[in-house]
Structure formats: structure tokens, C-alpha cells
Structure 1
């Protein structure tokens, strides 16, 4: 790499990679939603592959970030946004893995949580698509993603409360422990989506 290339901003490159990360994450969440409707290896494999693709995209982004001296978007924001989006996909992956290991069938709460998370992933993806050309629109999508995170937390609390209202036999306790772990994964997933939305807002403020 020549000295001019080292100092040249790579805004399009970074935005493109963030868009790609968000797109892969949306694909992964779509597959997770399908898995919650029909528990099959096909959809589980799609989630697992999306997680691998998302990780590879993040590796490329970080490598580019390390090779670029001047970034039109703060490098801390690029790094934080990429990490938050990656965490969303990671939690989708661990949810599927634990459902397979623990042999848990999807229930209504899991389906509701994942449906909201899929909607939030779509808003983050749309925010990334609009970030460069229409930052104000990107901020609106980020705000919608944050609102969906609040809805996830309400469903999460409802789901956990329901766990403790069942019978007190050992079978129910075992199921309760499994489901609580899965609910927590999805709640954490929503938290990371909320963090991604916060970073998008920060970027928009600095751009305008």
C-alpha cells in the first residue's frame, strides 16, 4: 500500500462492509425466525452459516480499519457498530445451538421474541443503507430499532414471569432453566441491537 492510499479515507468501503454485516445479520435473523416456526436442520444451518459469514466480514472490516490512517467516520464508531451488529448475529447463533443441544421446542414466547428481533435487524439494515446518503432517515430507522428493543424486553419479562407460574415438579424446573437461558440470549441480542442503534445515532450527529 502506498502512502497516499494509507491516508486516503475509505468511507465507501467501511459503509459497504457495515451494510454487508447488517445484511448478513438480517439473513441470519430471517433464518432464525423460520427455525422458530419449523425446527429443522435447514434453517439451523442457515443461521450457522450467516454467523460465519458475518464474522468473516467483520475480520475484513477490522483489517481495513487497521490499514487506514484517516477515516471519515470515527474509527471508534466503526469498530463499535461492527461489534454490536456482530454480537446480534452471535446471539442468534448461540440460541440455535443451545436449542439443539438442550432439545428445546420453540414456544410462543420464543417466536414473539425472534419476530421482534427480526424486525429490529431489518431496521438496522435499512439504517445502514441510508447512513451515507440520508443520515436523517438512518436515524429514524435506528429509533425504530430502539423501540423494538423495548418491546423485546417487555415480552422477555412476561416470558420469565410465566416460567415461575407453572407446576413445581422437576420436569418443569428443568424446562424452566432451559427456556430462561434461551430467553436471556434473546434479551441480550436485543441489547446489542439497541447498542448498534445508539452508535448509528452518534454517527449521524457527527455527520450533520
Structure 2
């Protein structure tokens, strides 16, 4: 009986479905977004060069993963998921860290100090990145769970939109001199970067939802 079980296990192991290499790549890319947005939160708490450099490094590492995925797509004749969907999902994930890096870079270069609104935005973005990662991790084997995580990304996006609108309203509230006006325009750009980062996560969630409907 033991020998039979061993042979059976070997048989199933031989025919075990290999992980979808494209989803593995997307998961690695999303994991970098989780790390990068965590580094962004650290920058908002302590806006110094080492924190900004970490966001930059993680963004470049995520870019390398994305390039690998695109190369693989170009070499593949058949893909288990539409190549357009895989490309769109990777591009949307890429936007998350691109805008996170733009935020830290411009804040450091322009000498913009973090605000409580910016920290709150960074926390929401990090929450988005985690939900997006979980969605991709569950896509192949638990697509409905993946879809649930995608829906949470969209819910966080709604919270971000409200926070962004409120932050802009406070920002444009009666500047008193030219310095206030200059600061106002700097902050507006930073707020936009944060909002666009979450928009990237929402777009990724939309693509994931489409993939679940079409393929799972």
C-alpha cells in the first residue's frame, strides 16, 4: 500500500500543473510595489535621502521585472491569458511605483515637507498595493478571492479620492503671500502624483476583474 501511494504521488507530481510564469512575474512586480509603498511611508515620516533612495531602488527593480515579463510575452506564441491583459496589468502595476518615486523625488528636490494628508495618502497607497498583491497571488487558484481583493482596491481608491479632494480644498484656502502660492503649486503636484499612483492600482484591479471573468 505504501509503495502504491508513493507511485501515485510521483504520478501526480509528474503531471502537476506548473505555475503560470506570467502570473509569477506579475506577483513579483506587485511585491516590489508593496515594498516601495512601505518605503514611501517611511519617507513621509522621515523625509531624508536614504528613504528616497530606497524608493528609487525598488522602482528600478520593479522595472527590471516588467522588462523580463515583456520579453517573455514577445517570445511566447501562445499565452494562457490574453497578452493584452497581461501587458495592461503590468503597466498599471508599474504606475504605482512610478508615481511613488516621482513623489519622493520631487519632494526631496523641491524641499516639500510631508503633511498629515500626504502620510494618510501614503498609507492608503500601501494598503492598495497589498490588496493588489494578494489579488494576483490568488488569481490562478482562487480567482473569486482575487476578485474580492480587487474590489477592496477600488474601495480604497474611493477613500483616496475623497482625501485628495479635501487636501486640495485645504491647500487652496486663502494663501496670504507669494510663498504660500509657490508652496500651494508644489503641493498640488505632489498630491496629484499620489492620486495617480492609486489610480494605477485601480486600473490594475479593473484588468484583474476582466481576467477573472474571461478566463476563470
- TM-score of the pair, normalised by structure 2: 0.90
Alignment of 1:161-180 (within 5 A): 161-180=169-188
Does residue 86 of the first structure (1) align with residue 94 of the second (2)?
yes
Does residue 107 of the first structure (1) align with residue 115 of the second (2)?
yes
- Paired residues, what number? 199
Does residue 150 of the first structure (1) align with residue 158 of the second (2)?
yes
Deviations 1:5-30 (A, max 9, x none): xxxxx861101000000000110000
Alignment of 1:46-125 (within 5 A): 46-125=54-133
Does residue 203 of the first structure (1) align with residue 211 of the second (2)?
yes
2:48 and 2:113 mapped to 1: Cα distance? 11
Q: Which runs of 5+ in 2 are unaligned?
A: 1-17
SS in 1 for 2:80: coil
Does residue 185 of the first structure (1) align with residue 193 of the second (2)?
yes
Q: Which runs of 5+ in 1 are unaligned?
A: 1-9
SS in 1 for 2:20: helix
Between structure 1 and structure 2, the one with the greater Rg is 2
- TM-score of the pair, normalised by structure 1: 0.93
CA positional deviation for 1:43: 1.4
CA positional deviation for 1:77: 0.5
